């Protein structure tokens, strides 16, 4: 069989066929799989006309583990550590979405304290994930110090998680029916202290990076994705909100206890640049950090002692049926499509709808006509995690 690397000529671009005429003038460059700006093992084949990108083709799959196949051979509880490894920067959100999918099928009632603590951990995780996005995005654009500031505060969250769950990155903490471990009052008071610090720190970040003249010059009016583009491509999360559409599953289709909480959904308004450009996507993330702090404060007010584990059968058998459950993760809407057979102990099919996968497919749309450096800024602003794309 003829493989791709046997072919002498680069293969023809498939989406934007008009570049074919220019083929002799174009230079094919491989960005990745080891390029630092791709945040993992993503290879983007770019066709460049001097320094202008004519066409970009993302090649994914370098981290493919076929986790969906693995899950078909595991019981429902055993899937959770695999789900952790999807988006390894927001493992809590991944676990929670999976747990909610199973709980919906089982009809389990999760105790109120467990639900509140789940919201607490997942909002903390959202902050940690956005801090990571903030730090690495600054590195992409050549600013090193914001990364150190961000990691300082991300570390505080990870320390808390480590105390509570025993792991720093891949937790296996949110279980079907509840939580593995309870938070002590001392830990909760540390969360409060963290929230106070973080609120001040977020203001500092705006001075440090958001309103920095060089940063604005690099990101404003760069990589514009309109609302229509986002809807066509199925983009969600900060990408869609950055384009100016007020859409957040926590508000629009509230799951868990989110309907009880008072928070805003920040959108890209275009006070700098225009809605849908890199700067607006970035600022949506930074504002979401503040909104998450708001939610965490309300959770702490509502917390009451109680049980943290609901009633779950010891041998978990699910009835026949299927469910498509989605939730709002830091990077967009994560969804699980679960199909089960009668009295099955393992999923018949578990499909992960990952937000970054669809966001990567938007790159060929925004790339043509950009400078290479701007393209790096665009890839960074999407904030992709390859573990989730390749599964």
Partner 1 sequence: MHKELSDLINRNVSGANAVAYLTADAKKFDSSITVETSHIYKVVEFLKTNKTTSFNSLHCISGVDYTDYMEVCYMLTNYDPSAVRNLTLKVRVTDRVNAAIDSVVGQFVSADFLEREVYDMFGIKFNNHPDMRRILCPDDWEGFPLRKDYVAQKDYNGMTVYPDNKMNMEDREFIVRQNMIKKAQAEKAQ
List of residues contacting partner 1 (CB under 8 A): 1, 3-4, 14-15, 60-61, 64, 66, 68-69, 73, 104-107, 231-234, 236, 245, 247, 252-253, 319, 321-324, 326, 333, 335, 337, 339, 346, 348-349, 351, 353, 357-358, 360-361, 365, 390-391
SS (H, E, C) 124-184: HHHHHHHHHHHHHHHHHCCCCHHHHHHHHHHHHHHHHHHHHHCCCCCCCCEECCEECCCCC
Rounded to a whole number of angstroms, the minimum distance from the CB of residue 380 to partner 1 is 20
Which residue in this structure is represented by tokens 């001075």?
A: 207
Q: Which residue, 61 or 306, is less far from partner 1 as judged by CB?
A: 61
Separation CA 273–CA 217 (nearest Å): 9
- Of residues 35 and 337, the one with the C-beta less far from partner 1: 337
Question: Minimum distance between the CB of residue 254 and partner 1, rounded to whole angstroms?
Answer: 13
Tell me if residue 51 falls in helix, strand or coil: coil
In three-state secondary structure terms, 244 is: coil
Which residue number, 135 or 223, has a Cβ lying nearer to partner 1?
223
In the complex, minimum distance from the CB of residue 352 to partner 1, in angstroms, rounded to a whole number:
9
- Name the residue nearer to partner 1 (CB basis): 69 or 311: 69
Residue closer to partner 1 by CB (options 21, 342) is 342
Shortest distance in whole angstroms from residue 58 CB to partner 1: 9
Give, in order, the Cα–Cα distances in Å from 128 to each of 83, 282, 288, 292: 18, 15, 11, 11
Closer Cβ to partner 1, 33 or 155, answer by number: 33
State which residue, 188 or 312, has the beta carbon closest to partner 1.
312
Q: What is the distance between the alpha carbons of residues 321 and 189, in angstroms, rounded to a whole number? A: 43
Helix, strand, coil percentages in the chain from 3-state DSSP, rounded to 5: 50, 15, 35
Least distance to partner 1 from the beta carbon of 385, Å?
Answer: 15
Give the number of other CB atoms < 10 A from CB of residue 194: 20
In the bound complex, what is the minimum distance in angstroms from residue 200's beta carbon to partner 1? Answer: 36
Distance CA 276, CA 240 (A): 8
Sign of the dihedral defined by the CA atoms of residues 210, 216, 221, 222, in that order: negative
Q: How far is the CB of 66 from partner 1 (least distance, A)?
A: 5
CA distance between the termini of the chain? 26
Which CB, 56 or 128, lies closer to partner 1?
Answer: 56
**Least CB distance from residue 353 to partner 1, whole Å?**
4
User: Which phi and psi angles does 326 have, rounded to 5°?
Assistant: -125, 155
């Amino acid at each position: 069989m003829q493989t791709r690397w046997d072919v002498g000529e680069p293969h023809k671009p498939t989406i934007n066929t008009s570049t074919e005429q220019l083929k002799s003038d174009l230079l094919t460059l491989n960005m990745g799989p080891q390029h630092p700006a791709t945040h993992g093992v993503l290879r983007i084949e770019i066709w460049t006309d001097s320094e202008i990108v004519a066409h970009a083709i993302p090649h994914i799959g370098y981290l493919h583990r076929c986790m969906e196949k693995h899950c078909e051979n595991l019981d429902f509880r055993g899937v959770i550590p695999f789900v952790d490894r999807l988006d390894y920067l927001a493992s809590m959100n991944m676990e929670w979405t999976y747990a909610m999918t199973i709980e919906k099928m089982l009809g389990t009632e999760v105790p109120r304290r467990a639900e509140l603590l789940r919201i607490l951990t997942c909002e903390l995780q959202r902050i940690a994930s956005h801090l990571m996005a903030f730090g690495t995005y600054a590195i992409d654009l050549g600013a090193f110090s914001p990364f150190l500031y961000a990691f300082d505060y991300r570390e505080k969250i990870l320390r808390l998680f480590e105390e509570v769950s025993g792991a720093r990155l891949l937790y296996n903490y949110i279980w079907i029916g509840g939580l593995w471990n309870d938070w002590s009052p001392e830990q909760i008071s540390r969360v409060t202290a963290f929230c106070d610090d973080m609120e001040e720190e977020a203001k500092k970040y705006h001075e440090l990076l958001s309103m920095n003249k060089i940063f604005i010059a690099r990101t404003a009016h760069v990589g514009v994705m309109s609302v229509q583009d986002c809807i066509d491509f199925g983009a969600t999360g900060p990408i869609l909100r950055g384009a100016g559409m007020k859409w957040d599953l926590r508000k629009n289709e509230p799951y868990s206890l989110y309907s009880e909480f008072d928070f805003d959904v920040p959108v890209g308004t275009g006070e700098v640049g225009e809605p849908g450009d890199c700067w607006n996507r970035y600022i949506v993330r930074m504002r979401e950090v503040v909104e998450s702090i708001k939610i965490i404060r309300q959770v702490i007010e509502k917390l009451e002692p109680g049980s943290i584990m609901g009633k779950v059968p010891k041998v978990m058998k699910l009835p026949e049926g299927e469910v498509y459950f989605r939730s709002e993760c830091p990077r967009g809407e994560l969804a699980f499509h679960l199909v089960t057979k009668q009295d099955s102990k393992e999923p018949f099919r578990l499909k992960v709808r990952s937000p970054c996968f669809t966001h990567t497919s938007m790159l060929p749309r925004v790339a043509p006509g950009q400078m290479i450096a701007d393209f790096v800024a665009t890839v960074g602003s999407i904030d992709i995690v390859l573990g989730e794309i390749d599964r």
